[in-house]
Structure 1
Amino acid sequence: MSNEELAYDFSPMIKVYKDGRVERLNDTDRVPPSTDPKTGVQSKDVVISQEPAISARLYIPKSTTTSAPQTKLPLLIYFHGGGFCVRSSSSAKYHSYLNALVSEANVVAVSVDYRLVPEHPLPAAYDDSWAALKWVASHSDGNGSEDWLNRFADFQRVFFAGNSAGANITHNMAVKLGCEGLVGVKLIGIVLEHPYFWGTEPVGEELTTPAAAREYMAGVWRFACPSTSGSDDPLINPAKDQKLGKLGCEKVLVCVAEKDVLKDRGWHYSETLKKSGWNGAVEVIEAAGEGHSFHLGDPTCDNAVAMKKKIVAFLN
């Protein structure tokens, strides 16, 4: 067997070879925490757990260091995207995105670094994310291990957000919180940026989606979650989730992009949520002419600026 034989090829994200080698494509742009020269946002990395290895990058806006002791700030917990298999909380695009968002929304943020597929198949990322949420919640009495959360975060104004696979995690964490509770935390809302949901039956314009694109979306899920029942697993298809109506927040913002193959899933999610018995408010915004995760690749384009404004308003 040549060592170039592929077991999985999910370009442009990841290739896995039959000899077990994993090649993450376009995933080398890691940056250290910093004080951002443009926004004055400070960040630092913290270890949440050694075994399993879970960490997070924390962000505080300039206002925490420049004004007198003030009222505490909303707390945003963010889950990065990358098909569950690439990227991290230190990826340059996510770091720069959160610097801007934290600055404009004037919030404290925790960007979770969960373990990746295929070394750690799902549900590892969900388990890690829930462990991170419990760690964050351990600061709600002001006596946690991390000073920034004790001093600056308002645990009665908590938001979850994420992009792509991270939006999938965001949704699933909000359902888990709604079912199990999270002591000391009041989840106000969630933001789903281009959420990675899927399903066996096409919705919306998916009937015209090329078969290869549909198979890619279904294939990434099977690769990430080998124990899955398939594309109608409630973890990837919320419309099949009996617990959807228990979503543990009062408002939801779904961001979709016109040219994203996942667009119709975002719309379908909002329609299903309205019928689920959940009594919150859900809104969908669609960016015309844009593709998946465009706001990370081109954060200063008009549509990305408009999307960020909408998210800032949602967090306030």
Structure 2
Amino acid sequence: MDTKISTLSDEVAHDYSPYLKIYKDGRVERIAGIDSVPPSLDPRTGVESKDVVISPEKDVSARIFIPKTTTTSTVQKLPLLVYFHGGAFCIETPFSRSYHNFLNELVAEANVVAVSVHYRRAPEHPLPIAYEDSWESIKWAVSHFEGKGPEEWLNSNVDYNKVFFGGDSAGANIAHHMALRVSSEGLGGPKIVGLALIHPYFWGSEPIGSEETRVERRVMAEAIWRFACPTTSGSDDPLINPAKDPNLGKLSGDRVLVCVAEKDGLKDRGWYYQELLEKSGWRGTVEVDEIKEEDHVFHMLKPTCDNALLLIKKVASFINQA
């Protein structure tokens, strides 16, 4: 009779399906966000993309997107959007089909240049590594301020008085912290105008709003955070809970857009973020836009639905607001 002897390599230590599994031998198996597509000239939107290496030693890179207008005009400089992808700090990349397509659509609609950042991910590279990689990527992008950087697309096409940070879920969390870091460390000449945060991943030990009855989602949100950031003090760490950050009122940028979804377990944190900013002494304006009947990052799962297109138009309008 044949018998199968279990080995350490196939024993699961942590099962976060349908996203990833961690085996007892330390191996990480990512289930979601593992597909990738090459940079291209998108025939539908006219958006062109290319990949660049920011730090070969750290495996930090980015995909840059430029809209069709850059090929027809040599005069107009465009806003820059530095974008951070979601995926619980653990999965997805700028090169996955969903993020590539999303940036194509957003860049075309907003008529901006975008740098979509590839930061190192947990658990192999636990937080705060993703924050450090993201900061290095921002510094690289704005190093083109005087037109003398290594990437001609950024030298020629960007108005560095109109820089925006954006992201979804964990990426929105990163964008928030990058804007805080600008306030303390500065970027020289470039001006951070605003933040576009889509379904931001913020949390806290005290439940608010609908979190009271969503026990399973609370458990998941807290588990993901501790998994991605094993050195954290918990759900009231300022990295995940803006209410506990004494520097919140120093956030860089004059405008913030927070997009939330009605069925998202993180929705109330988005609304609470608005309240916190308004009470912090921050002098900018913050707007929350809620889309009904949708859940967390629905625009990645249903990219062609009416509400996904509505979200893209909302972010584009925010960037182009006078």
TM-score normalized by the length of structure 2 = 0.96
1:7 and 1:237 map into 2 onto residues whose CA distance is: 28
User: What is the identity percentage for the equivalent residue pairs of Structure 1 and Structure 2?
Assistant: 61
1:240 and 1:4 map into 2 onto residues whose CA distance is: 40
Aligned to 2:226: 222
1:144 aligns with 2:149: yes
| Alignment deviations for residues 112-151 of structure 1 (CA, whole Å, 9 cap, x no partner) | 0000111111111000000001101110011001000000
Q: Which amino acid aligns with 2:71?
A: T
Contact kept in structure 1, 2:45 and 2:104, CA below 8 Å: yes
Aligned to 1:297: 301
Q: CA deviation at 1:179?
A: 1.8
Aligned to 2:179: 174
Contact kept in structure 1, 2:210 and 2:265, CA below 8 Å: no
Question: Within 5 Å, which residues of 2 pair with 1:57-72?
Answer: 57-67=63-73, 69-72=74-77
Contact kept in structure 2, 1:251 and 1:281, CA below 8 Å: yes
2:252 and 2:14 map into 1 onto residues whose CA distance is: 36
Question: Within 5 Å, which residues of 2 pair with 1:258-269?
Answer: 258-269=262-273
Aligned to 1:27: 33
Equivalent position SS for 1:190: strand
Aligned to 1:51: 57
- Larger-Rg structure: 2
Q: CA deviation at 1:72?
A: 0.4
1:106 aligns with 2:111: yes
Q: Name which of 167, 181, 186 aligns with 2:191.
A: 186
- Structure 1 unaligned blocks of 5 or more: none
1:127 and 1:298 map into 2 onto residues whose CA distance is: 31
Q: CA deviation at 1:4?
A: 3.1
Equivalent position SS for 2:269: helix
Q: CA deviation at 1:2?
A: 4.2
Cα RMSD (Å): 1.0
1:40 aligns with 2:42: no
Q: CA deviation at 1:6?
A: 2.2
1:204 and 1:96 map into 2 onto residues whose CA distance is: 33
Contact kept in structure 2, 1:259 and 1:290, CA below 8 Å: yes
Aligned to 1:281: 285
Aligned to 1:249: 253
Q: Name which of 189, 213, 236 aligns with 2:240.
A: 236
Aligned to 1:115: 120
Q: Which amino acid aligns with 2:253?
A: C
Q: Which moved more, 1:188-197 or 1:18-27?
A: 18-27
Equivalent position SS for 2:9: coil
1:20 and 1:311 map into 2 onto residues whose CA distance is: 39
| Alignment deviations for residues 252-279 of structure 1 (CA, whole Å, 9 cap, x no partner) | 0000001111111111111111101101
| Residues paired across the two proteins, number | 314
2:31 and 2:119 map into 1 onto residues whose CA distance is: 18
Equivalent position SS for 2:202: coil
TM-score normalized by the length of structure 1 = 0.97
Equivalent position SS for 2:107: helix
2:75 and 2:45 map into 1 onto residues whose CA distance is: 19
Contact kept in structure 2, 1:57 and 1:110, CA below 8 Å: yes
| Alignment deviations for residues 63-90 of structure 1 (CA, whole Å, 9 cap, x no partner) | 00123x2220000000000000000010
1:163 aligns with 2:155: no
Q: Name which of 127, 135, 140 aligns with 2:132.
A: 127
Contact kept in structure 1, 2:12 and 2:21, CA below 8 Å: yes
Equivalent position SS for 2:175: helix
1:190 and 1:70 map into 2 onto residues whose CA distance is: 26
Contact kept in structure 2, 1:179 and 1:248, CA below 8 Å: no
Q: Which amino acid aligns with 1:95?
A: H
Aligned to 1:7: 13
- Structure 2 unaligned blocks of 5 or more: 1-6
1:196 and 1:135 map into 2 onto residues whose CA distance is: 25
